[in-house]
Amino acid sequence: MHILIVDDDPYVTDRYAQALRGAGYGVSVCHDGEAALAEISRGGYDLVFIDVVLPGRDGFGVLGALERRGAAHPPIVLLTNLGRREDVERGFLLGAVDYLVKARAAPADLVLKAEQVLGRAVLKETH
């Protein structure tokens, strides 16, 4: 299983990537919305964790672009410090499957979220 992490803070991506790799996942990283959109469109990812606040195109913009294209894409979990209800709802309306508030999310929380989301994806494929 291969996971893409999108965040403009290299310290954050390094910590999250290390935890996910330690749990056996392949991990790639990018640091802005345009690169994220290109990587997701290229394919090969089973899950994407994306920050909302990014240089260039933000996480909401990436979700919106993917939805407008109508192309299949992996489940996307928002990583954000924008924990306001309207921000969370906007993410869900744009197609995010879940979200984590970065200020409260330890690297181990991403591993748990990956297991939850990917477990659901596997169940959908088998039924």
Number of domains in the chain: 1
Model pLDDT, residue 121: 52
Overall pTM surpassing 0.75 (yes/no): yes
Tell me how far apart the alpha carbons of residues 125 and 121 are, in angstroms, rounded to a whole number: 6
Q: Which stretches of the chain score pLDDT less than 50? A: 122-127
- Give the other-Cβ count within 10 Å of 25's Cβ: 19
Q: 71-105 burial by CB neighbour count: b if 16+ within 10 A, else e?
A: eebbbbbbbbebeeeeebebbeebebbbbbebeeb
- For 12, 76, 97, 115, the CA distances from 19, given in Å and listed in that order, are 11, 18, 21, 13
The Cα diameter of the chain in Å comes to 39
Model pLDDT, residue 126: 43
* Domain that residue 103 falls in: 2-126
Give the rounded distance of the alpha carbon of 121 from its chain centre. 14
Q: Is 99 helix (H, G, I), strand (E, B) or coil?
A: strand
- CATH, residue 36: 3.40.50.2300
Model pLDDT, residue 81: 85
